[in-house]
Amino acid sequence: MSAAEDGGVGGEEERREKGLVSGLVDKAKGFVAEKVAQIPKPEASLERVSFKGVSRECITLHSHVDVNNPYAHRIPICEITYTFKTDGNAVASGTMPDPGWIAASGNTKLELPVKVPYDFIVSLVKDLSRDWDIDYVLEVGLTIDLPVVGCFTIPLTTEGEMKLPTLRDLFC
């Protein structure tokens, strides 16, 4: 047998082995992905936005994020990101880094303060003049660190109308 013939046969065996290994790796990836998809994950819900207060710098709104933890140990929350929109425009956005932990085997309620600067109030005047409320959308990303899975973001959205307080409400 010549060297050229031997190289041809060896190359074919090598390709078959690579194909076999590649197939096994693909099956393993599929198996792991299926098992990870079946792992129970925390679930969350977002309450409506309400008026909280007024300061010299901004108007503070707030909402609550309710998180249900199916695990027997607490889970760290990496961050909460939010975007508050009215009339299709982002009015306020921000991040709460490291807001704490989700309690083991139960529900945790997290308060989400949303600070709306006064310079955006001018853009809201058109909506306010009609009915003294704000039509809004609040988008929240709750990022948690799950064992084995890693960082996982739960997207949440709520929308509605928020009645603003009158001057009488603020000073009485």
Q: Which of 33-37, 48-52, 102-106, 143-147 has the highest mean pLDDT?
A: 102-106
Q: Say what the pLDDT of residue 8 is.
A: 55
Greater model confidence, 73 or 130: 73
Domain ranges of the chain: 43-167
For the chain, give me the number of helices (H) and strands (E)?
A: 3, 8
Neighbours of 23 (CB within 10 A): 10
The predicted pLDDT at position 93 comes to: 92
> Percent of the chain at pLDDT above 90?
21
What integer pLDDT is reported at residue 3 of this predicted model?
47
Whether the predicted pLDDT of 2 surpasses 50:
no
Residue 140 three-state SS: strand
- pLDDT confidence tier of residue 42, bands split at 50, 70 and 90: confident
Which helix (DSSP H) or strand (DSSP E) does residue 104 occupy? Answer: none
Between CA 6 and CA 70 the distance in angstroms is 59
| C-beta atoms surrounding 124 within 10 Å | 19
Average pLDDT over residues 83-90: 86
pLDDT tens per residue across span 18-29? 777 777 777 777
CATH code matching the domain that covers 43-167, chosen among 2.40.50.70, 2.60.40.1820, 1.10.10.10, 3.40.50.300: 2.60.40.1820
Q: Which of 35-44, 58-67, 137-146 has the lowest mean pLDDT?
A: 35-44
**Arithmetic mean of pLDDT over the chain:** 80
Task: Supply the pTM of this predicted model.
Answer: 0.69
- Residue 36 predicted with pLDDT over 90: no
Tell me the pLDDT band of 10, cut-offs 50, 70 and 90.
Answer: low
State the pLDDT confidence band at 37, using cuts at 50, 70 and 90.
low
Query: What distance in Å separates the CA atoms of residue 44 and residue 66, rounded to the nearest whole number?
Result: 5
Length of the chain: 172
